[in-house]
């Protein structure tokens, strides 16, 4: 029998969460680099380059890979012969580890968890509570898998109750294009099949903890039906041409994981959960000998990527920009932004809408006339930073507010990640506005282009407050131009056709 001390579990959880905030798993880096070397789409290759450069910067600087430092998910296997030297419950110990990790002054992690989700939606301030799954097993150890899952990818999770005769492959291939680019591909797909509805979801999340190994599997050949399905879905998903960040390209998924469980004869529950380009998970085992701390990786594991868009990019001064200046911007074109940029996301937009509807108007210091808004909730700054990692959030969530913003505030452009909906694209074209895309999964790289930051409104909203950034050569891509052409529509269609031609397939 082993005795697990309270402080050892707390310290191990805190260490793991700090570790995964700035270190990608090596298997993921290797897979992403392989995708980079293979990629033929310039837009997708540039996006993967930024993700890899950002990853190495985070490993060197020990700062978060993504501004969305995730909701914590824990899988805990508790040995039946374990005893505890503790005053707190296991749940409280794990949450204390989360609290210490997210409030670490050397690497502050963004608190994203809101209590009262149907009401006040108030930030808990320390990213607790975690979502914890327990299993009591044989033995005298405590085995923990811990992950930090971003909201952009989690929001794209899909669940279905298939008929027993329905094809899993057909459902995945039909569903994946509907998920858009908000999950920041390329990444992994976790698929849970069987049990009950909630069991399939837990299986899908749990299987994402496994390493990327699809190419090794293909090389040796499948040895089970699940392995055959993994390969089939992997190959056919990449034939869709969705590509990195949804821009169109050869690699949409880096791996497909499937885990199943016995189910009712009348049922086939299926859940598919994507992991984004900020894949973060760690494993440790406590045996009573002290805390289980992560081992620092070799920084030589990260590839050296050369990426310089300067010579070919259009430089834009946000402080003097007018609508007419944007009329010749082309979809897919790289833009380098300099000047003042206001931020705002879900809560800020809702507050703005209420103020405009009441006739009160915008707060002092907030004027969107001839300005751009950046959809972001940044990490707090540490040391000499102007701001912490500050990558884009999913723009689609702001679609419901976009026409109002363009029509009533003088706003002329937006920066975010992923696609916009048809009605929003129509509004952008009607107002001769533009939507620019920053790379999701390159938050620390983006933050290096931000030279100043200050909160100008709604400070009580925390990371959702409106900030004013001063940026210098912030890299973005024209995703929707003033005529309403969207690269998230044209890019995947083009690359699906290219891939189909190469393979001799019929485009559906």
244 with 363, same domain: the answer is no
219 with 107, same domain: the answer is yes
278 with 335, same domain: the answer is no
Average pLDDT in the 56-78 region? 96
356 with 267, same domain: the answer is no
CB 296 within 8 A of CB 224: no
| 3-state class (DSSP) for residue 323 | helix
Which H/E stretch holds residue 100? helix 90-102
Distance from C-alpha of 48 to C-alpha of 30, rounded to nearest angstrom? 12
pLDDT at 441: 86
Give me the residue label for tokens 């996301």: 345
Distance from C-alpha of 381 to C-alpha of 450, rounded to nearest angstrom? 11
Pairing of strands 434-437, 413-416: parallel
Domain that holds residue 19: 2-287
Please report whether residue 501 resides in a domain. no
- At 508, the pLDDT band (50, 70, 90 cuts) reads low
* Axis crossing angle, helix 6-22 with helix 90-102, rounded to the nearest 10: 40
pLDDT at 311: 72
pTM of the entire predicted model: 0.93
CB 107 within 8 A of CB 44: no
- pLDDT for residue 507 is more than 60: no
Distance from C-alpha of 126 to C-alpha of 99, rounded to nearest angstrom? 5
pLDDT at 497: 96
CB-count burial class (<10 Å; 0-12, 13-18, 19+) for 329 = middle
78 with 136, same domain: the answer is yes
Distance from C-alpha of 9 to C-alpha of 133, rounded to nearest angstrom? 16
**Number of compact structural domains in the chain:** 2
Among positive and negative, which fits the CA dihedral 434, 112, 71, 295? positive
CB 333 within 8 A of CB 487: no
Residue 270 backbone zone (phi > 0: left; psi -120 to 50: alpha; other: beta): beta
Structure tokens at 142: 């405590």
* Axis crossing angle, helix 42-61 with helix 6-22, rounded to the nearest 10: 140
360 with 259, same domain: the answer is no
Compute the mean pLDDT over every residue in the chain, rounded to the nearest whole number: 95
Structure tokens at 491: 């890019």
121 with 259, same domain: the answer is yes
How many residues in total does the chain contain?
A: 508
* Axis crossing angle, helix 42-61 with helix 487-503, rounded to the nearest 10: 110
Which pLDDT tens digit goes with each residue over 190-231? Answer: 999 999 999 999 999 999 999 999 999 999 999 999 999 999
Which pLDDT tens digit goes with each residue over 346-384? Answer: 999 999 999 999 999 999 889 999 999 999 999 999 988
pLDDT at 378: 93
Question: What secondary structure does DSSP assign to 93-128, as a single string?
Answer: HHHHHHHHHHT-TTS------EESTTTT-EE-SS-P
- pLDDT for residue 277 is more than 90: no
242 with 198, same domain: the answer is yes
List phi, psi (to 5°) of 401. Answer: -105, -10
Please report whether residue 7 resides in a domain. yes
41 with 130, same domain: the answer is yes
209 with 342, same domain: the answer is no
pLDDT at 310: 66
């Amino acid at each position: 029998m082993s005795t697990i001390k309270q402080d050892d579990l707390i310290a191990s959880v805190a260490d793991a969460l700090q570790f995964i905030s700035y270190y990608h798993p090596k298997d993921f880096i290797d897979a992403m680099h392989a995708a980079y070397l293979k990629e033929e789409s310039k837009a997708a290759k540039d996006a993967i380059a930024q993700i890899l450069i950002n990853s190495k910067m985070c490993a060197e600087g020990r700062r978060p890979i993504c501004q969305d430092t995730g909701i914590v998910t824990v899988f805990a296997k508790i040995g039946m012969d374990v005893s505890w030297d503790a005053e707190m419950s296991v749940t409280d110990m794990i949450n204390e580890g989360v609290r210490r990790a997210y409030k670490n002054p050397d690497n502050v992690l963004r608190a994203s968890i809101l209590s009262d989700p149907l009401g006040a939606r108030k930030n808990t301030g320390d990213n607790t509570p975690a979502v914890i799954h327990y299993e009591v097993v044989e033995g005298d150890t405590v085995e923990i898998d811990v992950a930090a899952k971003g909201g952009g990818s989690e929001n794209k999770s899909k669940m279905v109750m298939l008929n027993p005769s329905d094809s899993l492959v057909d459902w995945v291939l039909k569903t994946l294009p509907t998920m858009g680019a908000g999950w920041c591909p390329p990444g992994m797909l976790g698929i849970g099949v069987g049990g009950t509805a909630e069991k399939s979801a837990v299986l899908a999340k749990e299987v994402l903890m496994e390493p990327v190994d699809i190419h090794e599997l293909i090389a040796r050949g499948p040895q089970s039906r699940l392995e055959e399905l993994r390969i089939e879905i992997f190959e056919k998903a990449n034939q869709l041409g969705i590509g990195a960040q949804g821009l169109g390209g050869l690699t949409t998924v880096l791996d497909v994981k499937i885990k199943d469980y016995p189910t009712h004869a009348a049922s086939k529950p299926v859940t598919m959960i994507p992991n984004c380009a900020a894949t973060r998970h760690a494993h440790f085992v406590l045996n009573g000998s002290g805390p289980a701390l992560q081992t620092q990786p070799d920084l030589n594991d990260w590839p050296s990527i050369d990426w310089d868009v300067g010579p070919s990019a259009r430089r834009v001064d946000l402080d003097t920009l007018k609508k007419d200046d944007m009329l010749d911007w082309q979809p897919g074109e790289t833009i380098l932004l300099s000047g003042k940029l206001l931020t705002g996301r879900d809560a800020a937009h809702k507050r703005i809408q209420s103020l405009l509807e009441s006739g009160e108007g915008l707060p002092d210091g907030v004027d969107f006339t001839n300005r751009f808004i950046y959809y972001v909730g940044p990490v707090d700054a540490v040391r000499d930073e102007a701001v912490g990692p500050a990558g884009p959030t999913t723009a689609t969530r702001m679609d419901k507010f976009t026409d109002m913003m363009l029509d009533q505030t003088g706003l002329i452009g937006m920066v975010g990640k992923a696609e916009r909906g048809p009605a929003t694209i129509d509004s952008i074209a009607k107002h001769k506005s533009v939507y620019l895309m920053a790379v999701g999964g390159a938050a620390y790289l983006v933050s290096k282009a931000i030279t100043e930051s200050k909160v100008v409104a709604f400070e009580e909203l925390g990371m959702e407050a409106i900030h004013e950034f001063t940026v210098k050569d912030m890299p973005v891509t024209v995703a929707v131009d003033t005529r309403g052409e969207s690269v998230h529509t044209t890019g995947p269609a083009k690359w699906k056709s290219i891939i189909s031609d190469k393979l001799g397939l019929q485009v559906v």
